[in-house]
Amino acid sequence: MQSQGKIVVASQHYPPDPSTTAAIMAEIACRLAADHEVVVLSGSPGALPASQTGSGKPRVVAIKNRMAGKAALVQRGVSELLFVARTFLALMRELNPGDVVLTVTAPFMLPYAVAAAAKLRGARSALILHDLFPDVLVMAGLLKPGSIVARAMRGANALMFRALNAVITIGRDAERSLLSYSGMTRNKIRFIPNWATLEPAPRPVTPDNPFRKTLAARFVVGLSGNLGFTHDPEIVFEAARLLKDEPDIHFLLSGWGIGFERLKQLQADASLPNVSFVVRVEDSELEAFLAAANLWIIPYRKDVAGVSVPSRFYNLLAVGRPVVLVSEPEAEAALTVVENGLGWVVTPGRADQLAEAIRTASGPDDGAMTERAVKAASKFDRAIAMNAYAALIDELLRNPDLAEQR
């Protein structure tokens, strides 16, 4: 039975866009559509997959959106501002009193527009916090902590967090940063981690894996996915340089973003014999690619705690691979690694520590870490997460003020 209030999902990234954010928002929207009327305001043009159309699925409204390349910062900023403005107008048309609007922090201006539109229309609002701004820009070195822009963004955040009815975090480390804002209360915060999209099960390392066939090394170190401003490509390359005389260890790199462009530039200059690149891997090949490496690296810059959580992390565990995480120990992924014995956590900027962790990992393996990784991945289950989102939305439909009811 559907409730009277409807759900509006506002997201720049939605299928057919292939990004992780698009897949996450589609999973959530489709789950909510089982119980409610759901309208998606999408910035991703194109035909939807057949599994996301028809009866009982969200109604998708395309918002005009022109995506500029990540390197074209000015053009990208203008494009995102226009998308946010168009989404705000669409929300003003779609929202009615009692409705709930759900959004995500991409682009970073979108949550401000969503919170404002919900307030003006008497609706309730919830934000999925993938990245915390301006902290992520400060971490990337694009803003100074005390700059006028950073202070202005924090002032806007205080107003936004006061207006929002709920904030969903995907990492436990985000709570401290959120509670530093006067408009935020602990009862508004809900921790719902992301999930593995691959079935948790050990995948053996086999010589006939298509991504290993050309590699002579016994131990393969993998790096995959989007490397944005918060990631450190230099530490990976410097670790490879430190290990270049160890023929048993080889680095297999595949992904996109400004960080991968930097890695390709570094390799073009140095031509390390222990580094190979693979073109961006399609979803149909992801399982085989993740199973090709013995160990995976997730390289963050310093101050990642409370700012960002790597969504790729859960699929690495699902295929039974240990990880080396470059981050502070209090970050969400680092906490999971240490609590479950899933690999190594090394200090940001310390390529020597990263190289030593890789060297240690390349030693004898008794299979225990593989078993622990698969067991940990099974805790991050799609159904559990979807039910948590559904429960929160139902709660907001019944009573918007979570701070007073808990």
- Whether 14 has a pLDDT exceeding 60, the answer reads yes
Per-chain mean pLDDT for the chain: 91
Residues 51-72, mean pLDDT to the nearest whole number: 80
Residue type (1 letter), 357:
A
Question: Which tens digits make up the pLDDT trace of 196-219?
Answer: 889 999 999 998 999 998 899 999
**DSSP codes, 183-220:** T--GGGEEE-----SSPP------TT-TTTTT---SEE
Domains by residue range for the chain, with CATH: 7-195+381-405 (3.40.50.2000), 219-379 (3.40.50.2000)
pLDDT recorded at residue 256: 87
Task: Give the side-chain half-sphere CA count within 13 A for 358.
Answer: 34
pLDDT above 70: percentage of residues in the chain: 95
Better pLDDT: 340 or 141: 340
- Whether 350 has a pLDDT exceeding 80, the answer reads yes
Spell out the long-range contacts of 263-266 with Cβ–Cβ below 8 A and sequence spacing 24 or more: 263/227, 263/233, 263/236, 263/237, 266/233, 266/234, 266/237
**Cβ atoms within 10 Å of 116's Cβ, excluding its own:** 17
Q: How far is C-alpha 169 from the geometric centre of its chain's CA atoms?
A: 11
At residue 403 the predicted structure's pLDDT band, cuts being 50, 70 and 90, is: very low
pLDDT recorded at residue 48: 86
Measured CA to CA, the distance from residue 190 to residue 171 in angstroms comes to 10
At residue 1 the predicted structure's pLDDT band, cuts being 50, 70 and 90, is: very low
- Whether 279 has a pLDDT exceeding 50, the answer reads yes
Query: Token pair for residue 52?
Result: 């996301």
pLDDT recorded at residue 401: 62
- Whether 153 has a pLDDT exceeding 50, the answer reads yes
pLDDT recorded at residue 400: 60
**Cβ atoms within 10 Å of 197's Cβ, excluding its own:** 18
At residue 252 the predicted structure's pLDDT band, cuts being 50, 70 and 90, is: very high
Distances (CA, A) of 362 to 179, 237, 248, 312: 41, 18, 8, 22
pLDDT recorded at residue 219: 97
Residues 233-262, mean pLDDT to the nearest whole number: 95
pLDDT above 90: percentage of residues in the chain: 70
pLDDT recorded at residue 2: 47
Residues 75-102, mean pLDDT to the nearest whole number: 93
At residue 309 the predicted structure's pLDDT band, cuts being 50, 70 and 90, is: confident
In which element (H, E) is residue 290 found?
A: helix 286-292
At residue 141 the predicted structure's pLDDT band, cuts being 50, 70 and 90, is: confident
Question: Which tens digits make up the pLDDT trace of 111-133?
Answer: 999 999 999 999 999 999 998 89
At residue 229 the predicted structure's pLDDT band, cuts being 50, 70 and 90, is: confident
pLDDT recorded at residue 404: 46
- Which of the residue ranges 26-35, 185-194, 279-288, 340-349 would you say has the lowest mean pLDDT? 279-288
- Whether 402 has a pLDDT exceeding 60, the answer reads no
